[in-house]
Amino acid sequence: MKMLINVPETVVADALRGMAAAHPELTVDVENRVIIRRDAPVPGKVALVSGGGSGHEPLHGGFVGPGMLAAACPGEVFTSPVPDQMVRAAAAVDSGAGVLFVVKNYTGDVLNFDMAAELAEDEGIQVAKVLVEDDVAVTDSLYTAGRRGTGGTLFVEKIAGAAAEEGQPLERVEAIARQVAGASRSFGVALGACTTPAKGSPTFDLPAGELELGVGIHGEPGRERRPMMTSGEIAEAAVDAVLTDLEPRNPVLVLVNGMGATPLLELYGFNGEVQRVLAERGVAVARVLVGNYVTSLDMAGASVTLCQVDEELLRLWDAPVRTPALRWGM
């Protein structure tokens, strides 16, 4: 497989150096693998810190900035960051108002963020944590005890980040993050496997003419494989899987997310089918976001995430944000 890299061993460091050159509004510590908003710590404000394996960009580093994360910790490709990264990030962004760790439900992430929280508290930093486990496809997977954390992470980081930007206290920011995590559900579909730099070949075998329903963002198996379906049929399968688990009484935020190799031409067409299915199911849509936000390297495919919102959560979603990957209102 051809890749635009030097050698697999330096792919994350090389990407971080390039990110630093492109975004002077961020402080990118390449050696220690921490990305921080340059004006941190912001006096009187709760700081959100997240992180995870590289390969899911723009998650999480692309979401660092005003209105969202204060810092992100990138691990190696598909590998959790280590506790030292998280503690360093927490110390750099803590203003005394506390730090909220946003953790996707993968075993390595959970264990390392738990350890980091203990270490940070030993240093006098008040830490709260929220776990994102929004994937309805499977209960347990290769990387997870319980549901996987996927597209709902974006909703948690944006909405809780807006609350923190307003100066709301840690207890309230944590409660909002938990509310959003509990109101978010996702379902993903793979049309083709991803390729890690270290392996140099597809991470799983998906025969021509087949797709994987319910795939994870590391290529973990989903519910089943089927012969290739139309965009409309895939939308019906994904939306119905989400709505089986989530019965929204309020309007929803919709994320139609590309897995990395699916062009916007296809994603917008897929979104049209998703909107058709939601209308047929009687689900009111408040806002829609389409693009590659929670990716899996070069995997072909897409995921659908719905988040039920009330007026307060919708107001926080609409609040200004300025990050490399998400920006409006500023």
Tell me if 68 sits within 8 A of 157, measured CB to CB: yes
In single-letter form, the type of residue at position 136 comes to V
List phi, psi (to 5°) of 134: -100, -10
Count other Cβ atoms within 10 Å, centred on residue 243: 20
Q: Is 60 a catalytic residue?
A: no
Annotated active-site residue in 11, 160, 218, 270: 218
The one catalytic residue among 23, 45, 56, 88: 56
Rounded to an integer, what distance in angstroms lies between the CA atom of residue 97 and that of residue 180? 21
Active site residue 23: no
Rg over alpha carbons for the chain, rounded to the nearest Å, is: 19
| Sequence-ordered strand ranges (E) for 139-267 | 184-192, 210-213, 224-227, 252-258
Closest to 256 in 3D by CA, of 276, 229, 281? 276
294 φ, ψ (degrees, to nearest 5): -125, 90
Q: Give the active site residues.
A: 56, 218
